[in-house]
Amino acid sequence: MPRLYMVRHGQSEYNVARRFAGAGSDIELTAAGVRQAGLLRDRLASEKIDAVYSSNLKRAMSTAAVLSENRGMEIVSCPELGEIDYGAVEGKTFDEVSFEYPMLAKQIYGADPKIRFPGGESFEEFTGRGGRFLDRITKYDDAQTVLVVGHSGSIKTLVCRLLDIDINNHWGQIHIDNASLTVLETGKNGAIISLLNDTSHLR
């Protein structure tokens, strides 16, 4: 397995408005989000990157495009890296969900692993996609580096899977900010996290 540089997409309009933005909300970055991606691109300019994989959603692909500038690399689009499908909750605020779906709001607040979004995905279906993505990158070795651009949920899923952490119990305890960098080193004895949710390049 390669070293993984995992990046959450830059700021989107739904992030600013604190609205649920999942696989069903294919929205673009804000101007601030583009700037965030540019700052991270500059931070990674001297790093060797062997491949770039991104969620197929616009906000992630746009972030990956900025990060890949001047590298001449193809961005591999991966639906497996997309955010959870919130179904009927897409585009709503937490207050709106609390009013319309009070039981669902309690599950969201408690990071209930048994949650299923009406008209969308269950948590189990969503986290299952993470394993399918990891199958894609087994062709790389630990001397190589793969840049992965995704979402808060998909990055948390990969961190838990690679560190052999119980997703059901700990997924809700990891926070991933916009345009943050998380780095996982891999080797014979498994993965080691060397950076988690770092945003020092944005300051």
Verify whether residue 170 is a known catalytic residue: no
pLDDT, tens only, 4-49: 999 999 999 999 999 999 999 999 999 999 999 999 999 999 999 9
Among candidates 27, 8, 73, which has minimal Cα distance to 47? Answer: 73
The residue annotated as part of the active site, out of 9, 170, 175, 201, is 9
The answer, yes or no, to whether residue 188 has pLDDT greater than 80, is no
- Look at residue 17 in the predicted model and tell me its pLDDT: 94
- The first and second tokens of residue 191, run together, are 């993965």
The answer, yes or no, to whether residue 182 has pLDDT greater than 80, is yes
Q: How far is it between the farthest Cα atoms of the chain?
A: 51
- Given 3.40.50.170, 3.40.50.360, 3.40.50.720, 3.40.50.1240, which CATH number is that of 3-86+122-202? 3.40.50.1240
The residue annotated as part of the active site, out of 151, 170, 175, 201, is 151
- Look at residue 145 in the predicted model and tell me its pLDDT: 96
Verify whether residue 201 is a known catalytic residue: no
> What DSSP state is assigned to residue 144?
S
> Is the whole model's pTM more than 0.75, yes or no?
yes
Among candidates 33, 75, 27, 86, which has minimal Cα distance to 51? Answer: 75
